[in-house]
Chains A and B, each alone.
Chain A
Amino acid sequence: MTLAEAIFLTVITASTPLLLAAIGELVVERSGVLNLGVEGMMIMGAASGVAIAIITGSSLLGVVAAIGAGMAMAALFALLTLGLATNQVAAGLSLTIFGLGLSGVIGAPFVGVPRAGIPRIEVPILSDIPVIGAIFFRQDPFVYLSIALVLGVAWFLWRTKAGLVLRACGENPVSAHALGYPVLRIRFLAVLFGGACAGLGGAYLSLVLTPFWTAGMTAGRGWIALAIVVFASWLPWRAMLGAYLFGGLIILQLHAQSAGIRVPSQLLAALPYLLTIVALTVIMALRRGGGQVAPQGLGRPFVPDR
């Protein structure tokens, strides 16, 4: 394996949890809901996933538990923001505090308990192709799943009627409601999907990337996922680009340090954040005069008038 191949492989694994959480949040925000609790849902997924996997000995059940935990957290958020029309930003931040605490309580008995990670899937024949084989056909199941999710979400949002309705709920919930669509129910399903994806992203951390539990192991990745959704201008393909760009910059700065580049490590560590700003600025400068990118109804509670 060449160094370039190795770097590609690392970038993909480092970016996948970001991508999983981001693609979920993208659907949530497309439906008009801003859930800043991604970090809280993600870490609950990480803790529940590893807890159930250790108790049952089954990685699959662990993954299911992580998805369930993410969805349970999302349901709590939905109860507050959709059922009771509370402020989404405050509810999301509270959800993060709650999730950080509860994950610590759930994870406490499992600190320092090792378990094997989920193995990679080698696609027969294809994985033997030089370069491409290693990068595309020798990954763990989550990587394939994350790409499938991007494809699926892109198809759903732009090629199906349900996707159109979901976007309508995000752009103009009043009109969607007037046309007879159940705005709150659609938003509820979107929020649940976001929770499931965040839980999955958490499970990827605690079951695949670093298979064990430590407190706060998501280390702010939920926040980066939120930034990626914005970077993507709410487009699934761009979310994939954003996640890989960000993950790639992180990995490159680590490699630059390892190679002994004589630049303060803090500057290298700041580059992914700075370059993400630069990249988005360049994109926006190139598409001057384009239409509005953020869903118009984003973050505004909607209460149907009867």
Chain B
Amino acid sequence: MTLTRRNVLAGASALAASSTLPFAARANDPLGVGFVLIGPVGDFGWSTMHDVGRRRMEEVLGDAVTTTQVEAVAPPDFDRVVNTLARAGNRLIFTTSFSYFQPTLRMAEQFPDVMFENATGTSTRDNLAIYNARFYEGRYVQGVIAAMKSQTKQIGYVASFPVPEVIHAINTVMRGAWSVDPEMRIRVVWVNAWFNPGVEADAARALVDQGCDVLCQHTDSPAPLQLADERGIHGFGQASDMTRFAPNAHLTSSINNWGDYYAARAQAMIDGTWEPADTWGGLESGMFELAPFTNMTPEQASTAENVVAGLRDGSIDPFAGPIVNQAGEQVIAEGESLTDDQIRAMNFFYEGIDVSMPG
């Protein structure tokens, strides 16, 4: 239920009542869906794409849902924001960052009648689902393309923070690149920010000045890609289709597409079929997609398409053994493959990646 004009006008007493009375959603009331975002919707990356997903869900489900989002919620404020969202009648709440995982567990316990979904979380409970996309599949494709485009055999990687998501992405880029050319090397700069356009651009400059001629980025802004365009080299877009920012440099972008997932989950709530699933969707799921390949020859594009097809049908497994870490220890043997939990927690670089593990 939403707060109607009348009970909001009642103001204080309405809210006091709302905190003591359990909200029983009536059958024909729209489903309230809340979103807690880690950044501002204007970051043009992670949070913007969750906002796009929310709008998409509204588009698909129309009057069946009402949505509410709260931006840039810091950890100390999280419990209060979720509490207020729940009190305002939201029955399904998406918390879109790993930083929210522990507090979401806590709140899920406190509000057993509200269903929670945490993006990039690591475990579920009765009323808590987790979801993420296998963005690393896109990274593998980036590695393949990078190896085909690079003259200097050096990939530059503008990295945000050393979290497993970024670490396995770097490993996968290299795995993809080595599948084309085992001579490929990578340089990594950590900018210690998810978005800070100026520093992202400066990091990209440093990488290019040191000889990289294809840039990957794990930060939100189009700055590294634009820099690639300015320097006449190539790069990949992040989170949305960034072709327009670098018409001559753009190769492909990894596009986050949460909308259909959100719509399906809200529909499941409405139908009463919602379950605390662990969803980790790959290219075949549509939770992310690759922008049309640009600035490459038809042969290169068709090689990339074949890799995409292989990833979709499972014939290419980016985490198939043998995998050897930087210390020379075998992590997984030939014929086996890393488990999802091993990928989620990945904390080492592969042998041959000459980058030290920060922290």
Q: Which of A3, A111, A215, A251 has the most CB of B within 10 A?
A: A215
Write out the residue numbers on chain B whose beta carbons fall within 8 Å of the beta carbon of A211. Answer: 226
| Contact B44 A260, beta carbon cutoff 8 Å | no
The total of chain A residues at the interface (CB under 8 A) is: 39
Q: Which of B190-232 contact A (CB under 8 A)?
A: 190-193, 195-203, 205-207, 209-210, 212, 220-223, 226, 230
| Contact B189 A257, beta carbon cutoff 8 Å | yes
Main secondary structure, interface of B, reads mixed
| Contact A266 B358, beta carbon cutoff 8 Å | yes
**B272 contacts partner chain A, Cβ-Cβ < 8 Å:** no
* Alpha-carbon separation in the docked complex, A208 to B32 (Å): 43
A237-276 interface bits toward B, Cβ cutoff 8 Å, 1 = contact, 0 = none = 0000000000000110011011110111110010000000
**B43 contacts partner chain A, Cβ-Cβ < 8 Å:** yes
* A10 and B44 contact, Cβ closer than 8 Å, known pairs A254-B189, A257-B190, A258-B187: no
* Alpha-carbon separation in the docked complex, A265 to B356 (Å): 10
* Alpha-carbon separation in the docked complex, A211 to B289 (Å): 26
| Contact B210 A259, beta carbon cutoff 8 Å | yes
**A180 contacts partner chain B, Cβ-Cβ < 8 Å:** no
| Contact A265 B190, beta carbon cutoff 8 Å | yes
In-complex Cβ contact of B192 among A107, A205, A265 (8 A): A265
| Contact B44 A214, beta carbon cutoff 8 Å | yes
Write out the residue numbers on chain A whose beta carbons fall within 8 Å of the beta carbon of B205. Answer: 6, 10, 251, 254
**A182 contacts partner chain B, Cβ-Cβ < 8 Å:** no
**A299 contacts partner chain B, Cβ-Cβ < 8 Å:** no
| Contact A254 B202, beta carbon cutoff 8 Å | yes
Give the size range of B's interface with the partner. 35 or more
In-complex Cβ contact of B206 among A104, A209, A254, A265 (8 A): A254
* A214 and B190 contact, Cβ closer than 8 Å, known pairs A3-B209, A262-B356, A266-B358: no
B31-74 interface bits toward A, Cβ cutoff 8 Å, 1 = contact, 0 = none = 00000000111111100100000000000000000000000000
Nearest chain B residue, comparing its CB with the CB of A5: B209
Q: Which of A130-183 contact B (CB under 8 A)?
A: none
Interface residues of B (CB under 8 A from A): 39-45, 48, 156, 162, 187-193, 195-203, 205-207, 209-210, 212, 220-223, 226, 230, 240, 244-245, 354-356, 358-359
Interface residues of A (CB under 8 A from B): 3, 6-7, 10, 14, 17, 104, 107-108, 111-112, 114, 117, 205, 209-217, 219, 221, 250-251, 254-255, 257-260, 262-266, 269
Some 25 contacts from A to B, beta carbons below 8 A apart, are A6-B205, A10-B202, A107-B42, A111-B48, A112-B44, A112-B240, A205-B197, A205-B198, A210-B226, A212-B197, A212-B245, A214-B220, A216-B42, A217-B195, A217-B198, A251-B206, A254-B191, A254-B206, A255-B210, A257-B188, A258-B206, A258-B207, A260-B354, A264-B359, A265-B359
Given A117-B226, A212-B222, 10 further pairs, Cβ under 8 A: A6-B209, A14-B198, A108-B42, A112-B44, A114-B222, A209-B201, A210-B221, A217-B221, A219-B196, A250-B199
